Amino acid sequence: MNVLVVDEGARGHAEAWKIAQSPDCDRLMIAGGGAGTDEWAENIDIPVQDIEKIVSFAKQNADLTVVSADEPLAAGMVDALQAEGLQAFGPTKAAAKIEWSKIFAKKLAYNRGIPTAEFTVVGDINFALYYADINQRTLYAKLDGLFAGKGAIKCREIEDVEKALVKFAQMGRFGNGKRVILEDGLEGPEISLQAWCDGLNYRMVPFAMQDHKTRDANDEGPMTGGMAVVGPVPVITPEDIQKLGQRFVKPALRALYQYGTPFKGMLFPGLVLTPEGPMLLEWNARPGDPEAQVWIPLLDDDLLKIMMAVVEGRLGEYPDINWRQASAACIVLATKGYPDHQRPGAISVIEGIEEVTQGEDLRIFQAGTKKIGNKLVATGGRSLNIVAVGSDGEDLSHVIERGYSATDKIRFNGGRPVMRRDVGQKALSLAFEERVEATRHLF
């Protein structure tokens, strides 16, 4: 089978690495690949957003196209592939609306009884300020679209709401008929779930992960697409995951099917463990990035076979999926100035990566990297994902330490890359354990 992966992130690198291990994969290609993917795949020089060229290339070369980048999904790449009779892993544009329209997603959750924060949709700054004034609590202003994890602003005061909406208006994303969400802030630790879905059936990744969404330690600094992930998080059991799937995945999948837009691909509910129980924060319509970089190395099964079961609607008949009984930690290394102050066209020379020994217990997945002569350079953003994988029974804290040991060898332009130094601390804390134990009966 010839497989084309459409993803320019480290997630696509991880997917390609795993798909290449399948005995069913004869030829592997990746659109959006970089310096790290040519080890197992052919890099195809087509932008991941160019639907016409991707479809034309897939018609001649691919038996399956894996679309896991959010923008091509929202633009309808899967629809275009299917219109040509081609097989594609990923949801249609209408099904992916559960991610690319936060307003649609919030209303779906509300209408289907899926626990989520109180919210209002606003298109006028005066009403927004009135809403903030009468609520007198922390709110999040959220854009109704795809913004790589950067479309939410935390607002502690009414002045913060005004600043956020002015910023959105300057971006052309608020006012003149364009609306945003004001959502109550949820108190508690966040967890990430992932589920393969074939339109009717679903299979949960049997553990929770915890993302680190802001750039700086202690959840400070600007929002990013994710600076680290650890998993499985302690305390939450596979039985808990099945209950959470029943509560958050099953009703969403059923709703999309009843709307006539069945969801095929991977659905990603992000949850907050509040004192009142788990609440939906957001849905993603594809594997998480960097969550995929954690669960993929722990998958002791054939990812390509699972994907084909999803595409062909056979997930309900698929045998039990095998997993390593181990932990993994992904530490993201980003370039200077990320995410708000990067110079256009600037590159960072990456040194020391050859000193990191890669194998079963450590992988480096890359994004936005390329070779210039004999040098590896980063063209901006979250460039390297250092993924440490534990042996069976190894404590998560030890796994994280091994990941940090690898990062110590790497330099961007001779200096330390941007990274979080508190990876996993929240998941390993007594406070997290106590919150799970106190609210487990509400799962």
Architecture of domain 2-90: 3-Layer(aba) Sandwich (3.40)
Per-residue pLDDT at 380 exceeds 90: no
Q: Determine the pLDDT at residue 127.
A: 86
- Tell me what the mean pLDDT of segment 77-82 comes to: 98
Mean pLDDT of the chain: 94
- Tell me what the mean pLDDT of segment 116-142 comes to: 89
CATH class of 118-184: alpha beta
Per-residue pLDDT at 50 exceeds 70: yes
Per-residue pLDDT at 363 exceeds 70: yes
Alpha-carbon span 67 to 63, nearest angstrom: 13
Residue 136 binned pLDDT confidence (cut-offs 50, 70, 90):
confident
* pTM, full prediction: 0.94
Q: Which pLDDT tens digit goes with each residue over 209-245?
A: 999 999 999 999 988 889 999 999 999 999 999 999 9
Residue 436 binned pLDDT confidence (cut-offs 50, 70, 90):
very high
Render the burial of 78-89: b for 16+ CB within 10 Å, e for the rest: bbbbeeeebbbb
Q: Determine the pLDDT at residue 432.
A: 97
Per-residue pLDDT at 344 exceeds 80: no
Q: Kindly list the domain boundaries of the chain, sorted by start residue.
A: 2-90, 118-184, 190-412
Q: Determine the pLDDT at residue 248.
A: 98
Span of 148-152, 187-191, 329-333 with lowest mean pLDDT: 148-152
Q: Options 3.30.470.20, 2.70.180.20, 3.40.50.2300, 3.40.1050.10; which CATH number does 190-412 get?
A: 3.30.470.20
Alpha-carbon span 263 to 29, nearest angstrom: 25
C-alpha to C-alpha distances, 406 to 232, 362, 393, 403, nearest whole angstrom: 21, 9, 21, 5
Q: Determine the pLDDT at residue 261.
A: 98
Q: Which pLDDT tens digit goes with each residue over 148-180?
A: 656 788 899 999 989 988 898 888 888 878 899
Among the listed residues 294, 368, 306, the one whose alpha carbon sits nearest the alpha carbon of residue 36:
368
Cross-strand bridge partners of residue 121: 181
Alpha-carbon span 286 to 226, nearest angstrom: 15
- Tell me what the mean pLDDT of segment 422-429 comes to: 97
Per-residue pLDDT at 107 exceeds 60: yes
Q: Which pLDDT tens digit goes with each residue over 304-318?
A: 999 999 999 999 999
